[in-house]
Structure 1
């Protein structure tokens, strides 16, 4: 905290006392004794104010504060922040601290009232829960210091502006990782599925009984005058891509977070699990074109690449173009992969417009469509209607819920996997679906 400056002003208590003395002066016109008393009181007030000012200014930089911020914020999670306050005054300090929080929190009265003994230090802890990704700027710390007299107040303005990036929910990665491995036994024995031969060549070796004759290398056989076969490395890790729809339907908000941010948080968590399961994690986003492409790999820097790409995802509320998604995926993802598509369909008609492209994707890949329940409709359905408007609202809500179930059945009819989940349960539901598909050997 480099900047440090202060100002002085008189406290409310001073003006209250001054008002009382002024009243006594008025009364003194009718009773002279009160006039004399008021003069004495006024003199004492002036003396006490000077004493209070001397007390507040006798020690330079008497109040010191250090703000402890994390390197980055986790979107949708409680982020712990602390203020360490040090009192160098030789008396008990009465303090009021006002934090200048980033504008995204819309809090202008974030105040802490503290009584700090002389030459003492104290740490204040508080939590902030951001609801959107981006840059958060913390401003100055304003401190109002008073002595026990509370006639004058010294204002300290400490610190400089501090920028912090807010990333997708990385604080919950460990939580979901623990749940993942603790629940792994619930699937029973895993099926070991052999994909066959990958395109990655390992070596040429002599033929022995039991080798696949389809791998005979005739050129090497002719040179060595004995049967030689190509040996390939068995493919164990599979590619998994998280695909995020950035269209206008993903801008609906639940509990302060948009569906897009729920999908972003889920993508980060499931990518971590995918890499832990020895698969290749990748991602991309799309609206009118494909963006934020991260090729599925298992390199050590993969989580950093995915996290940075997710942090930069923005949208301009366009209608998503599934035809572009299909064309680019067909050209760029040549191996059979698991495609986890985070999108949202509200009606069966909305699905039918995009279904041809989903079916085309499902011909070469295993497609898992993840979309959302509208949890606000639950309250309309559960509440007992007391008037005609309530009946209409309940019927319409049930119709929308029925549409979601029809969408699930329609996708199932064409062999497309689907998950219908509450936004708050998205991350857990996505991870469980991935583990279930993997245990069944579907990809």
Structure 2
């Protein structure tokens, strides 16, 4: 192979190619098994292939590692990866662990793991990059680092019950889109998933929760204290936050609503007043709303906002004042493409789509779906009995409703034809397990 030693954190996200140069996936983790005396042996990689499926790639089917890419023999078993007893994920389960250095210098945290080729298709953990605790109170100080061999460490026993640090794991996930990060977290052992959730910022965790099945959303939110949970809900889209709160107990839901920002909580309470299978139950209350006097230039500036969901940026709602739902009388919508065809100073009130009729808040979800499909729409406005705009239903809201509850799960076929050994090690670092969940 072109490289004989490589660090696991640098492999995360590396592209995997077949011998013809076609990309087949990207590395998500390194899989090892412990041995009773020697360093852990690398048995392969966890690779994400198209369709967000994680599969196992045996180390014996890799011909080259180097220059940010991995070359395979072209033979990859596409059955979904399922972690077996004795197998340990380096990035997900080893990084962040506390260990004791046998030289007497104290406790350190594993920040990276080097794997090295020892022979043909034989790789093992050769070194650990560890960081000792900082010795000063300065927030800018960091502890000293050291490269140590596996034989030079043992698991730290003095901090039982302390959560495993997920800092390095979160850093390796920094470039993932929310849906991909949700998929990666769902593949983690249960406790490790919660540790990662604790480490994420409020807005990042909110984005991830919106991409998870309801049961996992509830599990994670129930592990957060009330203040943190309310902060995360504040960052979610109101319709997603309403769906999540509806899945909680009435008591917890009311506590969290009281702790949320008043404006955010008001939107969520408003959405909870509608049946879930109606336009009111599916809609979001945060479309772009402007007056008829607003110009094309102003409209385009509004849809350029980074935080705006693409479906909401496809059209702008025009109403009479006030411009917060429920608004004044709804006048119509202006589509993004139409704005591009007119000069910047053109008033949006002259560009309304006269063919698009709003739906009532009590319109059934099935009827909303039919309207979106029949007229090739990305979103449809929702009004109340007084023709005041109360929100919009977007195509992603409808898809979430129409797809089965387990749509984030692909096939359940998880048996692999790859021959993967089971560890006979007596090493003290355990493998945390949980019942496998389907992943998006």
Q: Specify the TM-score bucket, using the shorter chain as the normaliser.
A: under 0.3
Superposition TM-score, scaled by structure 1 size: 0.25
Looking at secondary structure, tell me which structure has more helix per residue: 1
Structure number with the bigger relative contact order (C-alpha 8 A, sep ≥ 6) is 2
Larger Rg: 1
Looking at secondary structure, tell me which structure has more strand per residue: 1
Superposition TM-score, scaled by structure 2 size: 0.25
